[in-house]
Amino acid sequence: MARAAAGPVPVVVMGLGFIGQEIARAALASPEVELIGAVDTSPQLVGQPLAEVLGQPTSKLKVADSLERALGRRKGVVLLHATGSRLPQVMDQILDAVKLGVGVVSTCEELAFPFLKHPELAAKLERAAQKAGVAVLGTGVNPGFIMDRLVATVGQVCGPVRRVTVTRVVDARTRREALQRKVGAGLTEDEFFALVDKDQLGHVGLVESAALCALGLGMDCDDYEEEVAPVFAEEDISGGAFPVRKGRVAGIFQSVVGLEEEQERVRLELTIAVGAEDPKDRIEIDADPKLVVEIPGGVAGDRATANTLVNAAPRLTAAEAGLLTVLELPAGR
């Protein structure tokens, strides 16, 4: 096991969209890390003072157009990466960081457990990270915590697990406009399924969470089945970024079932909809003892995602080199 660096860990944020800005704010608030740079390729942002982008006082950092410029001569840096959900789209960015000797903590949902959908890319990342002597990790709230890591942690007090069900209900009115549109709010049913068919709608990472959940509970699922369906507004809904009329799509329901020899062992159910009732995170583990853990209101995704990346950075400097999952992080800080 490597030894963590003394003092705050230097970090650079890549991607200054909504979540990237939240990550930068969380890094500035953390005594465990030192924000030394920010990277974005948008012409509107490059060269701008980070303080203006974030709308809060910071050091004199300006947004750089490349990781090399942001790094300068600093060593032992961890990249807090937030540019995309699909691994093939961000693979080159992560590899470039690794080749510079920079560890990576990313919000990329498919990176949370890339061995399932992208085994060749996972193997390539593993080789590159080991060669460079750094660690790479995909994390967040979901995947990365609620429906996988937290389940595995709770399950440590159980005997052999027969079945687990995890339910997450999110009222999208409490989240950013981009997420409300990402789950199809305001669309017709035909528009909803047309975008689902193009992989342009819905939550990325639920299958990865199911695989992590199974692994963390000692189950060996050999197949995963995913379902996506619209949630319709039963009345006109206001209070979000835009009104949703009765009969239109209010959001999305997604489920993944993990099967072992055709028997259901894992069920994850995710509802993200404008006006969703009884928001919560709930874990039910059928084992000895049986456990039910519920978080009323659920974990707020945006700020919590930012915190998971920032809190993971110091742990990454003490981890073995290679491609990691959240199950390999220490449970505490």
CATH of residue 269's domain is 3.30.360
Q: What letter represents residue 276's amino acid?
A: A
Q: Are 310 and 294 contained in the same domain? A: no
Q: Are 19 and 116 contained in the same domain? A: yes
Q: What 8-state DSSP symbol labels residue 292?
A: E
Per residue in 61-77, pLDDT (tens digit) is 999 999 999 999 899 99
Q: Are 158 and 75 contained in the same domain? A: no
Residue 60 buriedness (CB in 10 A; 0-12 / 13-18 / 19+):
exposed
Domain membership of residue 269 (yes or no) is: yes
189 backbone dihedrals φ, ψ, rounded to 5° = -60, -40
Pairing of strands 223-232, 78-81: unpaired
Please tell me which residue, 231 or 5, carries the higher pLDDT value.
Answer: 231
- CATH code at position 130: 3.40.50.720
Domain membership of residue 2 (yes or no) is: no
From its phi and psi, is residue 261 left (phi > 0), alpha (psi between -120 and 50) or beta? left
* pLDDT score recorded for residue 3: 44
Q: Are 201 and 284 contained in the same domain? A: yes
Q: Are 134 and 168 contained in the same domain? A: no
Q: Are 59 and 192 contained in the same domain? A: no
* pLDDT score recorded for residue 5: 52
Q: Are 172 and 261 contained in the same domain? A: yes
Reported as a pLDDT band with limits 50, 70 and 90, residue 162 is very high
Q: Are 311 and 287 contained in the same domain? A: no
Domain membership of residue 3 (yes or no) is: no
Edge-to-edge order in the sheet of strand 63-64 = 63-64, 33-39, 9-14, 78-81, 103-106, 135-138, 322-324
Q: Whole domain around residue 270: which residue ranges?
A: 149-298
Average pLDDT taken over every residue of the chain: 94
Q: What letter represents residue 44's amino acid?
A: Q
Reported as a pLDDT band with limits 50, 70 and 90, residue 2 is very low
Instruction: State CA 47 to chain mean position distance.
Output: 28
Q: Are 180 and 233 contained in the same domain? A: yes
Number of structural domains the chain divides into: 2
Q: Are 246 and 308 contained in the same domain? A: no
Pick from 331, 312, 310: which is nearest to 23 by CA?
310
Q: Containing H/E element for 33? A: strand 33-39
Going from the C-alpha of 122 to that of each of 119, 137, 232, 283, the distances in angstroms are 5, 11, 38, 29
Q: Are 200 and 175 contained in the same domain? A: yes
Rounded to whole angstroms, the Cα distance separating 269 from 291 reads 18
Alpha-helical regions (H) of the chain: 18-29, 50-54, 67-71, 87-99, 119-132, 149-154, 177-182, 189-197, 206-216, 301-317
Per residue in 99-156, pLDDT (tens digit) is 999 999 999 999 999 999 999 999 999 999 999 999 999 999 999 999 999 999 999 9
Q: Are 94 and 173 contained in the same domain? A: no
Domain membership of residue 4 (yes or no) is: no
Rounded to whole angstroms, the Cα distance separating 252 from 204 reads 12
Domain membership of residue 1 (yes or no) is: no
Per residue in 165-214, pLDDT (tens digit) is 999 999 999 888 888 999 999 999 999 999 999 988 989 999 999 999 99
